[in-house]
Structure 1
Amino acid sequence: MASRTPTPDHGARERLPNLWEVLSRRTLAPVDLFSFYIYMRDVQRSVDYLDFWLDVSQHMSLCRHYVRELRRSVLVSTPDLDKSGSKRSSQILDNIERTSSDQGPSGTQYRDKSADRQTPDQRLSAFLRQDNGTGHSPHNSQGSRHSEGTTPGAEQPPRPSFMTGNSNSPSPNIHSNNSPQNTVARADIRASAEKILYTFLLPGAEREIILPQGILNEITHNIEREGRDDPEVFDAAKDYVFQAMERDAFPGFLRAKALGNIVQPSLMLRLIAGLVSMFGAFWTAFVLLFLNKDRATRCWLILPFTVGIYLLASHQYLLDPLLALAGLSEYTFLSFARIKEPFIRKLLTRRSLICLLSIALIDAALCCLFIFVPGKRL
């Protein structure tokens, strides 16, 4: 399978993104991974599931980084590539490193159906199972001391784990693209696998997530009894969590961020302020009508009616049309950021124009009703 560098395709995408594109950091604000993290934390109240998925992805990247350093150490320690053994070692590790950017959540969603062969991630897991306990860590190799450098574009480096941070605030390193500063030992991979198990999966864990008992038992057995730490151990759990987020959380995220641009606290504030404004507008309109005030005085009703209708329409559409036309979206309460995803920008612009047209029609109808109806003093 040919290796391809993942590149953001937001410029050519004329549709809403899917969850895999968001988690792969192929989307821009307001449907980027940072926004999805905030949505899972503040709205769904289930950020632990996203953290688990990201930490398993981090574990996979750690394993790939380990294999890449091992390959470098083999090339440096045996520079004479005419030796057949060196060629075989280099070729095996090189084949493991060739990962495709189009893989699904656990690396098996887009496998080649034309041949019955393992995916790159499956080859990686098989290699790590065979390598377990053999002492091939890059720390044991002379070449590993010189192996630090930039991560190739086809592979994102391990992500700083969310597990060490506060779950109430998003990690500032969620978009980090810096390579690890230290080489990766096999003990680091083992520690990473155990930390995921003890943090998310075991009953009574600090941030326990709910998984089918069969999946949980299999992961626990593989790590604690068989001593496995390869990424394939978490495949079933990772796919289950991905499908749960795709089914339960992601549609609401798109509705909130792709079809709207304001968050729940702002929606509630607009609803309350809009109802108060409409009550004041109707009360004032009837007072002016029954005091038989002239039409010029009653024209001031335009102000409270316009404010009330605008706020209620914003709540109904989940959208502030003026902010959307200005290219802004609300991340958290009263915190705004630019809309950078082109398709989302066009979609919100169209919805904003429709919303403003609705506001204008309703406002005009109410104002005409209370301005031009003859008054009668009681």
Structure 2
Amino acid sequence: MAFQDRGPPEDDDNFAPSPMPDLQRNRLPTLFEVLSRRTHPPVDLFSFYIYMRDQQRSVDYLDFWLDVAQHMSLCRHYVRELRRSVLVGTPDLEKEESRRSSRVLEAIGDIGAGPSMGTDKEREQNAQMSAYLRDQPAPSALFDSPQGSQERRARASTQLSSQGITDSNSPAHAVAREDIRASAEKILYTFLLPGSEREITLPGSITTDITTAIEQEGRDDPEVFDVAKDYVFQAMERDAFPGFLRARALGNLIPPTIIARLIVGLISMFGGFWTAFILIFLNASRGTRCWEILPFTIGVYCLASYQYSLDPIMALLGLTEYTPFSFVRIREPYVRKLLVKRSITVLAVTILVDAGISLLFILVPGKRL
């Protein structure tokens, strides 16, 4: 995975959708389910990425979490392939160190290729994997001199992207230990160090501990980022995710479209009132005044859409807006159910208000001035 601002993770092979999303979930999804790609539009990871980028303006936090998850995938892939090679057998297996490594790798068990989904078994395997990686430091991490820090930083900035590493079973995508080291350094130099390219705000103690662990202790195991990853996850869960659910699960419009509907609604209502008073003071027939229904309907509909952040007709058709003039089908069953109920309510309010205003100006007696 490239560590630059890579854009929404729509087609990222390293975070492929879960093969069995929970379609029977009779509730809104959790943040972990969204990040694990166990959800469908409009509450999927792609939607959350766009929300964090365009509305929260804090997509760096999400990128950090995804990059740490990718670092975990890289380590899992490396250890899985290493375990496979040990089980097949190596010429050095008679050495004590090789026998010890073999026992440790067998104890870890068969590690999957993708990011951890958070089960107890996987957490135990991840802890064992991190312990193994700490016991087997990367060659480039053995007490590098402080003068080599800038060189390591430049190397880490380009190594992963130039190699195009992915979490794949193909031999062409074999992961070396140096790749894991470069991945850890890249996360540190991109997100955590003061003045870094995409620095995120973390407690100073967390940043200091990670910097010391990577640059001085030579660690690159996934557990080195655990505290920061948990902090970022909790921050997103507390500050961003509730707003995301309100925007995407209870509405189907984005802020620019919502503002545009407010403007159109106010203009239409002004035009409707202006026309109504003109026809009243011209003593026009009630049949002629029925044309007032058109601007009032447009105005009330647009203002209701602005108030509820929801286009009811579009929602009943099963569509939601990702970006301006870009629509996708609602595939999350529970969200579809919620939006249909809210759409019916909004349509009912729209019809009642529109009918009340229209009848008032149609039936009021005219008086020519």
TM-score (norm 2): 0.82
2:240 to 245, 249, 252: 249
Conservation of the 8 A alpha-carbon contact between 1:20 and 1:104: no
For 1:121 and 1:129, locate their aligned partners in 2 and report how far apart those are by CA, in whole Å. Answer: 12
3-state SS in 1 of match to 2:240: helix
Secondary structure of the 1:119 match is helix
Q: Which amino acid in the other structure matches residue 281 of structure 1?
A: G
5+ residue gaps, structure 1 = 1-5, 113-117, 136-160, 165-172
The correspondence for 1:220, drawn from 207, 211, 214, is 211
Write the mapping of 1:64-143 to structure 2, written as runs, cut at 5 A: 64-78=76-90, 89-90=101-102, 92-97=104-109, 111=120, 119-133=124-138
Q: Secondary structure at the match of 1:337?
A: strand
Change (3 A) 1:262 1:178: farther
Aligned residues of 1:31 and 1:341 also touching (Cα < 8 A): yes
* Alpha carbons 1:306, 1:363 under 8 Å: kept: yes
Q: How does 1:117-266 map to 2 (within 5 A)?
A: 119-133=124-138, 179=169, 181-266=172-257
Query: For 1:20-70, what per-residue CA distance to the aligned partner results, in whole angstroms no more than 9, with x for missing partners?
Result: 000000000110001100110111010000000000000000000000110
The answer on 1:361 being equivalent to 2:347 is no
Alpha-carbon shift at residue 9 of structure 1 (Å): 4.0
The residue aligned with 1:140 is: none
Separation of aligned partners in 1, 2:287 and 2:167: 63
Contact 1:64 1:97 (C-alpha < 8 Å) held by counterparts: no
For residue 154 of structure 2, what is the aligned residue in structure 1? none
Q: Measured at CA, do residues 75 and 104 of structure 1 come closer, stay the same or move farther in structure 2, by a change above 3 Å?
A: closer
Is 1:15 the counterpart of 2:27 in the alignment?
yes
Shift of 1:218: 0.3
TM-score by length of 1: 0.80
Greater alpha carbon shift after TM alignment, 176-185 vs 241-250: 176-185
- Matched to 2:30, the amino acid is N
CA contact (8 A) 1:263 1:332 kept: yes
- Taking the aligned partners of 2:328 and 2:88, their CA distance within structure 1 comes to 47
* Residues 30 and 258 in structure 1, CA contact (< 8 A), matched pair in contact too: yes
Matched, 1:26 2:31: no
Structure 2 match to 1:169: none
Name which of 326, 332, 336 aligns with 2:317: 326
Across the aligned residues of Structure 1 and Structure 2, the Cα RMSD in angstroms comes to 2.9
Q: Is 2:331 the counterpart of 1:340?
A: yes
Matched residue SS, 1:364: helix
Taking the aligned partners of 1:243 and 1:235, their CA distance within structure 2 comes to 12
Amino acid at match of 2:75: C
Cα distance change of structure 1 residues 321 and 218 upon mapping to structure 2, 3 Å threshold: same
**Aligned-residue offset at 1:225:** 0.7
Deviations 1:338-375 (A, max 9, x none): 11111111111111111100100000000110001111
Determine which of 295, 307, 315 is the counterpart of 2:306. Answer: 315
Which residue does the alignment assign to 2:55? 43
8 Å contact 1:67–1:97 — kept in the other structure?
no
Equivalent pairs counted in the alignment come to 328
CA distance in 1, matches of 2:188, 2:125: 24
CA distance, structure 2, for counterparts of residue 77 and residue 85 of structure 1: 14
- Take 1:32 and 1:274, find their aligned partners in 2: how far apart are those partners? 31
Say whether the 8 Å CA contact 1:10–1:341 is kept in structure 2: no
Q: What does the per-residue CA deviation read over 1:59-105, in whole Å, with 9 as the maximum and x for residues that have no partner?
A: 000000000110111123349x9x9998875553243245699x999
Tell me if structure 1 keeps the 8 A contact 2:80–2:110.
no
Does the 8 Å CA contact 2:80/2:112 hold for their aligned counterparts? no
Which residue in the other structure is 2:341 paired with? 350
Cα distance in structure 2, aligned partners of 1:131 and 1:54? 25
Quick one: distance in 1 between partners of 2:231 and 2:181? 23
In the alignment, the residues of structure 2 paired with residue 126 and residue 88 of structure 1 have an alpha-carbon distance, to the nearest angstrom, of: 13
Query: Which amino acid counterpart does residue 30 of structure 1 have in structure 2?
Result: P
Alpha carbons 1:62, 1:184 under 8 Å: kept: yes
Quote the residue 1:279 is aligned against.
Answer: 270
For residue 204 of structure 1, give the secondary structure of its aligned residue in structure 2: coil
Secondary structure in 2 aligned to 1:331?
strand
Do the aligned partners of 1:8 and 1:27 also contact (CA within 8 Å) in 2?
Answer: no
How far apart in 1 are the matches of 2:258 and 2:20? 32
Report if the CA contact (8 A) 2:76-2:112 is conserved: no
Identity between Structure 1 and Structure 2 (%): 64
Kindly provide the CA deviation profile for residues 183-226 of structure 1, in whole angstroms up to 9, marking residues without a partner as x. 11110000000000000000000000000001010000000110
AA of the residue aligned to 1:20? F
Distance 1:95 1:316 in 2: 57
**Structure 1 residues 336, 97: closer, same or farther in 2, change over 3 A?**
farther
Aligned residue for 2:4?
A: none
**Partner residue of 1:61?**
73
Structure 1 residue corresponding to 2:286, chosen from 278, 281, 295 = 295
